[in-house]
Amino acid sequence: MLNAAKETDVEKILITSTSEVYGSGQYFPMDEKHPLVAQSPYSATKIAADKLAQSYYASFGTPILIIRPFNAFGPRQSRRAVIPSIIYQALKNNRIKLGNQFAERDFNFVEDIIEGYYLASTSKTDKFLGHEFNISSGYSISILEITKLIGKILNKKLIIETDKIRFRPKKSEVNKLLGCSKKARKILGWKPKLSGKIKLAAGIKKTIDWYSNEENMRVFADNSYEK
């Protein structure tokens, strides 16, 4: 894609990064100056992709922007992701199988993330080409608290069970992600509509409503963890 962009007259190419490139936070909130830590093979490949894109900008002037979303959630997400997995289990019964309950994540509703991509693609950001932009709510919550929130919305008392298959290798687990999006807010004019605990609950409610539809549940089935 970078080679194709270099050889053609593209206006801008957006590179999708991930908050995982930061590893377990060394300070919070994590801004774009936070060290990049290849804590897992996945994060290593994403760091490599980001740096390769920046090298094309530095060498050839390829017009790239790096969008670095923190944890996304919302309708149509695979059930391999943690929030859809919890919702699916909670809709079927009241027993929830989890891995690390205490890892904290900065969850962002899909509509907010798409807005970030839209603004990045349309904003006049020529002097910021080659830059990274965090897309993050600035609010961190544990997997355990997310589970309790889902139970509260569904009005169900959920029983949590530890499932070893859901744990990452111990040293690769990112303990906490909490992003700083001041750069995206200032340069791109991005502002999340569903951030903070109360608005996060509104996004979770929208997601639950979507997965409550049996047809949606069937189409987005991924039974790898629910067998």
* Range of the structural domain that residue 130 is part of: 2-219
Task: Please count the structural domains in the chain.
Answer: 1
Residue 226 lies in a domain: no
Would 224 be classed as within a structural domain? no
Per-residue pLDDT of 117-164, as tens digits, reads: 999 999 988 899 999 999 999 999 999 999 999 999 999 999 999 988
pTM of the full structure: 0.92
Is-contact 139 106, C-beta < 8 A?
yes
User: Residue 31's closest CA among 173, 141, 131, 172?
Assistant: 131
Gap between the Cα atoms of 86 and 98, Å rounded: 8
Residues 160 and 173: their CA atoms lie apart, in Å, by 20
pLDDT at position 227 over 50: no
* Domain assignment of residue 225, yes or no: no
In this prediction, residue 218 carries a pLDDT of 75
Helices (H), the chain: 2-7, 41-60, 82-92, 110-122, 143-154, 182-183, 196-211, 214-219
- Let me know: does 28 contact 176? Beta carbons within 8 Å: yes
More confident residue, 84 or 196: 84
Confidence of residue 221 (pLDDT cuts 50, 70, 90): low
**Phi and psi, residue 62, nearest 5°:** -60, 125
Q: Give the domain CATH number at 24.
A: 3.40.50.720
In a domain, 227, yes or no: no
Question: Is the pLDDT assigned to residue 89 strictly greater than 60?
Answer: yes
CA 106/CA 136 separation, integer angstroms:
7
